[in-house]
Amino acid sequence: MSVPWKAVRVTVLILAGAAGAWQLQDWRYGKQLAEQARLHTETLNQLTMAAATAQQAEQDKRLALEQRLAASDKTHSEKMTNAQKDQALLRDRLATSDLRLSVLLNAGSAAGCSVPSSASTGGLVHDPIRAELDSAHAQRIVAITDKGDRGLIALQACQEYTKQITYRK
């Protein structure tokens, strides 16, 4: 059985044509795939750069907030220190009787003193009636006001911190 050479040639030509077409398609699709891979890589690079920029912006915001909070904390500490110094000075002045605390008394409770409640025309003007507090009581009052002052300073610091955190934009 001999195969005619003409049929073999036709088969070889058809196979060569198919192989050539196959190769041509491979090159075309290879170029398309390479272009898609390049575009995909560029897109990923752009997304990475955008994410890095956003992260840097957030870090900058955080750093600015930390700096504002540190300044606020410093101010709070200075206020607290000044209040403590003022309270200590006041306590020392009370302890040495350099300063006396007094309270106003009701004109009707002048404890038996006959001091007129209002001055008449041409008479003397009397200061309101005052009673001096015992040094120990004055010390206790100063301690209470000291705690109140510290509480108010701490409250202001908390409010400032909350404002900084809430409005950090």
With contact defined as beta carbons under 8 Å apart, do 157 and 73 qualify?
yes
pTM: 0.52
Residue 122 identity: G
Give the model confidence (pLDDT) of 42-96 as tens digits: 999 999 999 999 999 999 999 998 998 899 889 989 988 998 898 888 888 877 7
